[in-house]
A and B are shown apart, each in its own frame.
Chain A
Amino acid sequence: SQQGEEDPQALSIQEGENATMNCSYKTSINNLQWYRQNSGRGLVHLILIRSNEREKHSGRLRVTLDTSKKSSSLLITASRAADTASYFCATDHLQGAQKLVFGQGTRLTINP
């Protein structure tokens, strides 16, 4: 299966701390994306990193990509209660139709 694996499955931290989530995948990719899903809602795109990029920033988000290890990490700095959600990595693989394959997600809880 091409599906990514995320680690940890659940993460609980205090407001103001940084949160780091990891994603690993098995086959070569065009790009890797991170999405957020609030409870009972659809997924929202956060950030995309292409296979020739190593790091990308967007506001309080920092994404890294290591294609040699087939892994990515999402760092959320200075977390807020509103960051409580599930976070999914999605990989766009080189083979087959350009479809996104989602991981199982990390459930992040920010405690006030």
Chain B
Amino acid sequence: EAGVAQSPRYKIIEKRQSVAFWCNPISGHATLYWYQQILGQGPKLLIQFQNNGVVDDSQLPKDRFSAERLKGVDSTLKIQPAKLEDSAVYLCASSLTPRISGANVLTFGAGSRLTVL
């Protein structure tokens, strides 16, 4: 099966500019996640979707970050305006609904590396 697709792989912008990342999850995976991974740290959940509804966005900096999953399939994460501390890898992951699969096992994309200058 095809994996989780993400683009772009790399992006360099200046602070206060905007950027958008795209993710296409594995077909049939109802749950989609965006994680932020700062160099040397573990991934931190930004937002979790179940189909096209938000399940958890408690750690999403909503003054600058937004995400949508309009048709319950692919998703876009936007940052506007970017700050230096947003430099990180943005990982998208998807999973089957846990009540169907029995557990929340994630499949990750390769990530989008953002550098803010």
Q: Please determine whether B103 and A97 come into contact, CB atoms closer than 8 angstroms.
A: no
Main secondary structure of the interface of A (DSSP, over half): strand
Residues of B within 8 Å of A, CB-based: how many? 23
Instruction: Tell me if B48 counts as interface (CB < 8 A to partner A).
Output: yes
Pick from B4, B45, B55, B56: contact of A42, CB under 8 Å:
B4
Residues of A within 8 A of B48 (CB): 97, 99
Q: Which of B44, B98, B106, B108 has the most CB of A within 10 A?
A: B106
In the assembled complex, A109 has its CB within 8 A of some CB on chain B: no
Report if B13 contacts A (CB, 8 A).
no
Complex: A99 Cα to B4 Cα, angstroms: 18
Q: How many interface contacts (CB-CB < 8 Å) are there between A and B?
A: 59
- A43 in the interface (beta carbon within 8 A): yes
C-alpha gap A92/B56 in the complex (Å): 14
Is A31 an interface residue when CB atoms closer than 8 A count as contact? yes
- For residues 72 through 117 of chain B, which have their beta carbon under 8 Å from a beta carbon of chain A? 91, 93, 98, 103-111
A31 touches B103 (CB 8 A): yes
Quote the shortest CB–CB distance from B13 to chain A (angstroms).
20
With A42-B110, A43-B91, A96-B56 given, is the CB distance from A101 to B45 under 8 Å? yes
Interface residues of B (CB under 8 A from A): 4, 33, 35, 41-45, 48, 55-56, 91, 93, 98, 103-111
